[in-house]
A = this chain, B = another copy of it.
Amino acid sequence: MIISTKKGTPAAELDRIIHEFEAKGLEVTLIRGTDYNVFGLVGDTTVLDEKQIRANPYVDNVQRVSEPYKKANRLFHEADSVISVAGVKVGGREKIAVIAGPCSVEGEQETIDIARQVKAAGACMLRGGAYKPRTSPYSFQGLGTEGVLDLVKARKATGLPIVSELMSEDRIDEFEEYVDLVQIGARNMQNFQLLKAVGKMTKPVLLKRGLANTIEEWIMSAEYIMAYGNENVILCERGIRTFEKYTRNTLDLSVVPIIKEKTHLPIVIDPSHATGNWRYVESMSLAAVAAGADGLIIEVHPCPERAWSDGAQSLKPDRFQHLVEKARQVARVIGRDL
């Protein structure tokens, strides 16, 4: 960590600062400049709080040199983590995982039907929302437990592991019992209470990036889950909020090489929520695979115009099948399978 102090900071204050950091077990080097002085701190700086240091009126700026995360950090864990979701492996050189299904679970038979269709088209997991985060209190909020049980029946019928979003701590037992991959949605990426709670679960977690969160904050949220005991975290990019109006969000595919450089965790891309428009889903899926993503999560619905939510971004099963075939060919070019 690098700390710069203002022109005219008294020598006594510089000494005081040095002693304070040394008392915390850090080595301190002072560089004297014409207009500024700079301290370099060496040691475990994850315990320091930049904002607190900045509170000193003589301090001008504080910069971290090493990343504020440890367990997620590639520096201390060189090999790719491969996460097993009820036997389906995600990450490393494993097959690229294709997760598909409806935005919302809409009933038992519908769910089983879609599960069969996406499996036939090449999906290896089934997604479906039973608890839905909706901007309006007047919109459909999901089938709840009934929806979770519909997914369980679809798993029984097809063998596909199931992925669903957890929105509150009071459903943790239900998810621990029934769901194979526990999704934390974008709006809850910094719901720290929920992160701590899933950190104590035994099931793997799919952590979506928040609408306006930096990659560093996203990794810190993974670090929360890992620090509380659950190291099976898969990251999922679903678009960030920008000024652009032709798409629902802006898909940030540069996260793929960055997550692989900074962490050892798998990275999955959600082109459906990112673009909000089924017309753009295939090209963004192929792009994600070419970029090196470890998985895709795609909304599929047999009749999008009658879907209970997010129909505009859902693919019909035949278009989804076409996408999977193309994506497999792209995967092979970069030495992966799908």
Contact = CB atoms under 8 A, between A and B. Distances in A.
Contact of A279 (B136, B138, B261, B289): B261
A217 B135 contact: yes
A215 B196 CA distance: 30
Contact of A192 (B33, B167, B240): B167
A228 interface: yes
Contacts of A43: 34
B240 A241 contact: no
Contacts of A192: 133-134, 137, 141, 167, 187
A242 interface: yes
A295 interface: no
Interface in A260-317: 261-262, 274-276, 279-280, 283-284, 286-292, 304-305, 307-314
A35 B326 CA distance: 34
B31 A40 contact: yes
- Most B CB contacts (10 A, CB to CB) among A40, A66, A243, A254 go to A254
Interface of A: 2, 4, 7, 29, 31-36, 38, 40, 42-43, 46-47, 49, 51-52, 54-57, 60-61, 63, 65-66, 68, 75, 133-141, 167-170, 187-188, 190-194, 196, 211-212, 214-217, 220, 223-224, 227-228, 240-247, 250-254, 256-258, 261-262, 274-276, 279-280, 283-284, 286-292, 304-305, 307-314, 326, 329-330, 333-334
